[in-house]
Structure 1
Amino acid sequence: MSRDEDNTTDPPVDGQPESQESLPNGLDGSTAEYDIDDVYKQLQLIEETVTSDAEREEVRRARKMLKRVPGSDHINKYTTRDMGESFVGGVVFSLPLLVEDGVFEIAEWFAEHTIAQVPIFLVLNVLFIGVLVTGLLYAIDVREITITKPIFGFIPRRLVGVLAISLIVAVGSMFMWGRLHEEDPATIEQFGRVTVIWAAAALGAVLADILPGESKGEDISEMIDGDDK
């Protein structure tokens, strides 16, 4: 057999790749790793590029199925169930503090220490609550939360919801249990008491919202848009 005949190779079969180099990354035995979030992002890109309504609907269906796969850390929707979970978490975390007189002492500290007539520690406590909730939602990698349809174009709905619900829990529980007016405090001291309970309620509300993952149900914005039609 001649040397030229030894160097000949069979032509590739139609529909098969000539070598593993033509395979997508990660399918050729390489060390590339992918998770559910990568697939979800790829489906989002596909949905933006397809032109057929039927194909777009199929991609959306695949995305909905992917959300139910265990191990997905993606949270896109903000539903009434999320709000309910925040309410329950806020109540659970705030109840133990309602019977503690230390709340009154902290509130007195807030009211007494001022700089240029501004209760600086009270202001810092409110800022701390906002930073705590924002950090747990968007900075710390607990869940990958997508901000969709923000209020005024830049305020996340979930952030507003968690802060508002936990504040309602704090004010409502303090008032209902008679802890807001006990010992006839000044208005600034009353607000200080609320912020102490608010901090605990906010922590419980945000954890109860994000730890279970994405809730089933319709997004609040879709419910509102549906009512407007």
Structure 2
Amino acid sequence: MSDRRADSERRFDSLEDPELDDLLDELEQLEETVDDPEEREQVRETIRIARRVSTPSAFGQVIQGFDRHDAAEALVGSVVFGIPMLVEGGTIEIGTFIAAHPASLLVTLAGTVALVIGLLYVAEIQQVEIHRPLFGFVPRRLVGVVVVSFVTAAVMMTVWGRVNWATPWLALCQTSVTFSAMALGAALGDILPGS
């Protein structure tokens, strides 16, 4: 186990009771001594379950997977962050600029995904674990947050008449500006309740 992950886990463990801290310490020691990969995975799963069961508040929880409940939280977060972008005229102007400068679209999309990754996996607002990644390496939570926020941006921009899909490139660029804010809101909405 890396020192950074161990420090992070100790910080989350400090929210729990001392008896549970002792149990987790013993399980971590057991994990280091077990030679069989299957048995080691069983110990790791026991550690994950112990952390999930014991967390007393919305902060410091271990978050895994991405289900419809998480998608609903991401939707709420994206709407809360996105409505100001929908009513702001600057969104359309920025989208028009991006349409004229295709490299700006790539930077906007890459920057948005990088910020979402930072919120979910680097900032350590919650302990978010990658559980059953798609294709063996793409985190389901990342895909869920990005897809929910982009679809929400496209639907709301269309329904509120902010984009005209007769000019698809311009509409995509303008939607991407709203998507940037909505993706951050979706990530926060998903992890802050601690589900």
Same fold? TM cut 0.5: yes
Does residue 63 (structure 1) correspond to residue 46 (structure 2)? The answer is no
Give distance in 1, aligned partners of 2:103 and 2:187: 25
Q: How many residues align?
A: 172
Give deviations 1:193-229, integer Å, cap 9, x for gaps. Answer: 110110111011000111111x2xxxxxxxxxxxxxx
1:151 aligns with 2:151: no
Please report how far the alpha carbon of residue 150 of structure 1 lies from its aligned counterpart in structure 2 after TM superposition.
0.4
Indicate if the aligned counterparts of 2:73 and 2:189 stay in contact, CA closer than 8 A: yes
- Separation in 2 of the partners of 1:83 and 1:188? 27
Uncovered stretches (5+) of structure 1, i.e. residues with no partner: 1-31, 114-118, 216-229
TM-score, normalised via structure 1 length: 0.64
Bigger helix share: 2
Q: Partners in 1 of 2:121 and 2:145 — Cα distance?
A: 13
Alpha-carbon distance between aligned partners in 2 of 1:40 and 1:66, rounded to the nearest angstrom:
12
- Quote the offset at 1:186 in angstroms: 3.2
Name the Cα RMSD after superposition.
3.4
Correspondent of 1:194 among 175, 178, 185: 175
Please tell me whether the aligned partners of residues 137 and 145 of structure 1 are also in contact (alpha carbons under 8 angstroms). yes
| Contact kept? 1:180, 1:193, Cα under 8 Å | yes
The structure 1 residue matched to 2:77, chosen from 89, 95, 109, is: 89
Change (3 A) 1:43 1:62: farther
Q: Which runs of 5+ in 2 are unaligned?
A: 1-9
Identity %: 36
Q: How much does 1:125 deviate?
A: 0.4
Residue 120 of structure 1: aligned partner: 103
Deviations 1:163-219 (A, max 9, x none): 0000010001011111111xx873221111110110111011000111111x2xxxx
1:204 aligns with 2:161: no
SS of aligned partner of 2:175: helix
- How many Å separate the matches in 1 of 2:161 and 2:175? 12
Give the greater-gyration-radius structure (CA): 1
With the length of structure 2 as denominator, give the TM-score of the two structures.
Answer: 0.74
The answer to whether the 8 A contact 1:86-1:205 is kept is yes
Given that 1:47 and 1:60 are in contact with CA atoms closer than 8 Å, whether structure 2 keeps it comes out as no
Give how far 1:62 is off. Answer: 6.7
How big is each residue's C-alpha offset from its partner over 1:64-83, in whole Å with a ceiling of 9 and x where there is no partner?
77344336332224332111
State the partner residue of 1:106: 94
C-alpha deviation, 1:61, in angstroms:
11
Contact map agreement 1:108 1:189 (CA 8 A) in 2: yes
Find 1:161's aligned residue among 138, 144, 148.
Answer: 144
* Partners of 2:169 and 2:119 in 1: CA distance: 28
Match of 2:154 among 171, 184, 193: 171
Q: Counterparts of 1:127 and 1:94 in 2: how far apart (Å)?
A: 18
